[in-house]
Amino acid sequence: MAEPELTDLLPRDVLDRPSTEVAPDLLGCVLEHESPDGLVAVMLTEVEAYTGQTDPASHAYRGRTARNAVMFGPAGHAYVYFTYGMHFCVNVVCMPAGTASAVLLRAGKVIAGETLACARRTSAAGVRPADRELARGPARLCQALGIDRGLDGADLCAADSELRLRRGVATARSEGKSLIRTGPRVGVREGADVPWRFWLDGEPSVSVYRPHPRKTATSPG
Protein backbone atom coordinates (compact mmCIF):
# COMPACT_ATOMS: atom_id res chain seq x y z
CA MET A 1 0.00 0.00 0.00
CA ALA A 2 1.04 3.59 -0.46
CA GLU A 3 2.72 5.58 2.26
CA PRO A 4 1.26 9.05 1.86
CA GLU A 5 2.00 9.91 5.45
CA LEU A 6 5.69 10.04 4.61
CA THR A 7 5.15 13.14 2.54
CA ASP A 8 2.42 14.88 4.50
CA LEU A 9 2.82 18.60 4.82
CA LEU A 10 3.19 19.78 8.38
CA PRO A 11 -0.18 21.17 9.54
CA ARG A 12 -0.08 24.85 10.35
CA ASP A 13 -1.55 24.36 13.82
CA VAL A 14 1.57 22.43 14.80
CA LEU A 15 3.48 25.68 14.28
CA ASP A 16 0.84 27.92 15.81
CA ARG A 17 2.30 27.43 19.29
CA PRO A 18 5.18 28.84 21.38
CA SER A 19 8.48 28.38 19.57
CA THR A 20 10.03 26.63 22.55
CA GLU A 21 7.41 23.88 22.11
CA VAL A 22 7.55 23.83 18.31
CA ALA A 23 11.35 23.61 18.13
CA PRO A 24 11.82 20.04 19.43
CA ASP A 25 8.88 18.87 17.33
CA LEU A 26 10.63 20.07 14.18
CA LEU A 27 13.54 17.69 14.72
CA GLY A 28 13.16 14.86 12.23
CA CYS A 29 10.84 16.90 10.01
CA VAL A 30 11.85 17.62 6.43
CA LEU A 31 12.39 20.99 4.75
CA GLU A 32 12.39 20.83 0.98
CA HIS A 33 12.96 23.43 -1.72
CA GLU A 34 11.72 22.75 -5.20
CA SER A 35 13.71 25.19 -7.32
CA PRO A 36 14.15 25.37 -11.10
CA ASP A 37 17.46 23.57 -10.59
CA GLY A 38 15.79 20.67 -8.83
CA LEU A 39 14.64 19.51 -5.43
CA VAL A 40 16.71 19.31 -2.27
CA ALA A 41 15.27 17.96 0.98
CA VAL A 42 16.83 18.11 4.43
CA MET A 43 15.84 16.31 7.62
CA LEU A 44 16.21 18.80 10.46
CA THR A 45 18.66 17.77 13.16
CA GLU A 46 19.30 21.01 15.04
CA VAL A 47 17.09 24.04 15.76
CA GLU A 48 16.88 27.02 18.12
CA ALA A 49 13.81 28.76 19.57
CA TYR A 50 13.50 32.55 19.69
CA THR A 51 10.55 34.02 21.56
CA GLY A 52 10.40 37.41 19.91
CA GLN A 53 9.83 40.62 21.78
CA THR A 54 10.61 39.06 25.16
CA ASP A 55 13.87 37.55 23.92
CA PRO A 56 16.93 39.84 23.81
CA ALA A 57 18.61 37.49 21.31
CA SER A 58 15.70 37.71 18.86
CA HIS A 59 15.67 39.98 15.83
CA ALA A 60 12.18 40.98 16.93
CA TYR A 61 13.30 42.14 20.40
CA ARG A 62 13.35 45.81 19.42
CA GLY A 63 10.17 45.67 17.46
CA ARG A 64 9.08 45.34 13.90
CA THR A 65 11.30 46.40 11.00
CA ALA A 66 11.22 45.79 7.27
CA ARG A 67 13.61 42.89 7.72
CA ASN A 68 11.75 41.01 10.45
CA ALA A 69 8.18 41.83 9.37
CA VAL A 70 7.43 38.21 8.44
CA MET A 71 8.04 37.14 12.03
CA PHE A 72 5.11 39.29 13.12
CA GLY A 73 2.83 37.52 10.67
CA PRO A 74 0.97 34.20 10.96
CA ALA A 75 2.60 30.87 11.75
CA GLY A 76 4.01 28.59 9.10
CA HIS A 77 5.92 31.08 6.98
CA ALA A 78 9.67 31.34 6.40
CA TYR A 79 11.63 34.24 7.86
CA VAL A 80 14.83 34.49 5.83
CA TYR A 81 17.47 37.04 6.77
CA PHE A 82 20.86 38.05 5.46
CA THR A 83 23.73 38.38 7.89
CA TYR A 84 27.46 38.98 8.14
CA GLY A 85 27.38 40.45 4.66
CA MET A 86 27.23 37.09 2.93
CA HIS A 87 25.05 34.50 4.62
CA PHE A 88 21.35 33.64 4.72
CA CYS A 89 19.54 31.93 7.60
CA VAL A 90 15.98 30.58 7.68
CA ASN A 91 13.41 30.49 10.50
CA VAL A 92 9.97 28.94 10.86
CA VAL A 93 7.51 31.54 12.15
CA CYS A 94 5.42 30.40 15.14
CA MET A 95 2.34 31.73 16.94
CA PRO A 96 -0.48 33.86 15.50
CA ALA A 97 0.02 37.21 13.77
CA GLY A 98 1.18 39.84 16.22
CA THR A 99 3.53 37.54 18.12
CA ALA A 100 7.01 37.42 16.64
CA SER A 101 8.41 34.06 17.74
CA ALA A 102 10.33 31.75 15.45
CA VAL A 103 12.54 28.68 15.24
CA LEU A 104 15.95 29.05 13.59
CA LEU A 105 16.85 26.00 11.49
CA ARG A 106 20.51 25.38 12.30
CA ALA A 107 21.37 22.07 10.69
CA GLY A 108 20.04 19.09 8.82
CA LYS A 109 20.85 15.96 6.93
CA VAL A 110 20.40 16.01 3.16
CA ILE A 111 18.02 13.18 2.22
CA ALA A 112 17.22 14.12 -1.40
CA GLY A 113 18.95 16.11 -4.11
CA GLU A 114 22.38 15.47 -2.69
CA THR A 115 24.11 16.14 -6.00
CA LEU A 116 22.52 19.57 -6.33
CA ALA A 117 23.15 20.39 -2.67
CA CYS A 118 26.78 19.43 -3.06
CA ALA A 119 27.16 21.57 -6.17
CA ARG A 120 25.71 24.58 -4.35
CA ARG A 121 28.03 24.01 -1.41
CA THR A 122 31.18 23.44 -3.43
CA SER A 123 33.48 26.38 -2.77
CA ALA A 124 34.99 28.65 -5.38
CA ALA A 125 38.21 26.75 -4.82
CA GLY A 126 36.43 23.57 -5.88
CA VAL A 127 36.45 21.97 -2.46
CA ARG A 128 33.65 19.40 -2.17
CA PRO A 129 32.24 19.23 1.37
CA ALA A 130 31.71 15.98 3.25
CA ASP A 131 28.14 14.68 3.27
CA ARG A 132 27.53 15.53 6.91
CA GLU A 133 28.73 19.10 6.34
CA LEU A 134 26.36 19.83 3.45
CA ALA A 135 23.78 21.42 5.77
CA ARG A 136 25.70 21.75 9.04
CA GLY A 137 25.18 25.30 10.28
CA PRO A 138 22.33 27.69 9.47
CA ALA A 139 24.05 29.42 6.55
CA ARG A 140 25.24 26.16 5.05
CA LEU A 141 21.72 24.73 5.34
CA CYS A 142 20.40 27.68 3.36
CA GLN A 143 23.12 27.37 0.77
CA ALA A 144 22.51 23.64 0.31
CA LEU A 145 18.79 24.29 -0.15
CA GLY A 146 19.28 27.36 -2.33
CA ILE A 147 17.41 29.62 0.09
CA ASP A 148 17.80 33.38 -0.17
CA ARG A 149 15.72 36.44 0.69
CA GLY A 150 13.49 35.79 -2.29
CA LEU A 151 11.92 33.09 -0.11
CA ASP A 152 11.31 35.42 2.84
CA GLY A 153 7.64 34.99 3.71
CA ALA A 154 7.19 31.74 1.76
CA ASP A 155 4.37 29.57 3.09
CA LEU A 156 5.87 26.34 4.43
CA CYS A 157 2.48 24.68 4.84
CA ALA A 158 1.14 25.10 1.28
CA ALA A 159 1.40 22.30 -1.26
CA ASP A 160 2.00 24.75 -4.11
CA SER A 161 4.82 26.56 -2.31
CA GLU A 162 8.35 25.96 -3.55
CA LEU A 163 9.58 25.81 0.07
CA ARG A 164 7.72 23.25 2.17
CA LEU A 165 7.89 21.59 5.57
CA ARG A 166 6.91 17.93 5.84
CA ARG A 167 6.43 15.50 8.64
CA GLY A 168 9.54 13.46 9.13
CA VAL A 169 10.15 9.96 7.97
CA ALA A 170 10.43 7.51 10.84
CA THR A 171 13.23 8.80 13.02
CA ALA A 172 14.37 8.79 16.59
CA ARG A 173 11.56 11.21 17.29
CA SER A 174 8.89 8.61 16.58
CA GLU A 175 10.38 6.49 19.34
CA GLY A 176 10.13 9.25 21.91
CA LYS A 177 12.06 12.37 22.67
CA SER A 178 14.78 10.74 24.73
CA LEU A 179 17.27 11.32 21.94
CA ILE A 180 16.55 15.04 21.80
CA ARG A 181 19.11 17.08 23.67
CA THR A 182 19.03 20.72 24.69
CA GLY A 183 21.54 23.41 25.52
CA PRO A 184 22.29 27.11 25.16
CA ARG A 185 21.90 28.77 21.79
CA VAL A 186 24.89 29.24 19.54
CA GLY A 187 26.52 32.60 18.98
CA VAL A 188 24.22 34.70 21.13
CA ARG A 189 25.44 36.98 23.91
CA GLU A 190 22.18 38.17 25.45
CA GLY A 191 19.92 35.26 26.28
CA ALA A 192 22.71 32.70 26.48
CA ASP A 193 21.28 31.38 29.76
CA VAL A 194 18.23 29.60 28.36
CA PRO A 195 18.51 26.07 26.88
CA TRP A 196 16.56 26.79 23.72
CA ARG A 197 18.80 24.90 21.32
CA PHE A 198 17.52 21.43 20.46
CA TRP A 199 19.29 18.70 18.53
CA LEU A 200 19.15 14.99 17.80
CA ASP A 201 21.77 13.24 19.89
CA GLY A 202 24.42 11.48 17.85
CA GLU A 203 23.62 13.21 14.55
CA PRO A 204 26.87 14.07 12.79
CA SER A 205 25.18 16.94 10.98
CA VAL A 206 24.73 18.96 14.18
CA SER A 207 26.85 22.09 14.28
CA VAL A 208 29.50 22.63 16.92
CA TYR A 209 28.51 24.79 19.88
CA ARG A 210 30.21 28.14 19.92
CA PRO A 211 29.56 30.37 22.96
CA HIS A 212 29.95 33.70 21.16
CA PRO A 213 32.03 35.01 18.27
CA ARG A 214 35.40 36.27 19.35
CA LYS A 215 35.35 39.94 19.98
CA THR A 216 36.93 42.11 17.35
CA ALA A 217 39.68 43.17 19.70
CA THR A 218 41.21 46.20 18.08
CA SER A 219 44.78 45.51 18.98
CA PRO A 220 46.71 48.75 19.43
CA GLY A 221 49.36 47.43 17.13
Distance CA 120, CA 44 (A): 19
Question: Between 178 and 219, whose beta carbon lies closer to DNA?
Answer: 219
Dihedral sign of CA atoms 167, 170, 175, 179 in order = negative
Q: Which of residues 137-156 bind DNA (CB under 7 A)?
A: 137-141, 143
If one asks whether residue 104 binds DNA (CB under 7 A), the answer comes out as yes
- How large is the angle between the packed helices 114-121 and 138-145, nearest 10 degrees? 120
Nearest to 188 by CA among 94, 112, 75, 104: 104
DSSP, collapsed to helix, strand or coil, labels residue 180 as strand
195 binds DNA (CB under 7 A): no
**186 is an interface residue for DNA by CB under 7 A:** yes
Decide if residue 165 touches DNA (CB under 7 A).
no
Residue 129 near DNA by CB under 7 A: yes
Of residues 42 through 81, those in contact with DNA by CB under 7 A are: 48, 50, 57-60, 62-63, 65-67, 71, 79, 81
Q: Which of 59, 81, 90, 74 is nearest to 15 (CA)?
A: 74
Is residue 187 at the binding interface for DNA, with CB under 7 A as the rule? yes
Judged by CB, which is closer to DNA: 56, or 96?
A: 56
Quick one: CA dihedral 185, 191, 193, 195, positive or negative?
A: negative
Q: Which positions ≥6 away from 126 have C-beta within 8 Å? A: none
Interface with DNA (CB under 7 A): 48, 50, 57-60, 62-63, 65-67, 71, 79, 81-87, 89, 91, 102, 104, 121, 123-125, 127, 129, 133, 136-141, 143, 185-190, 207-208, 212-214, 216-217, 219
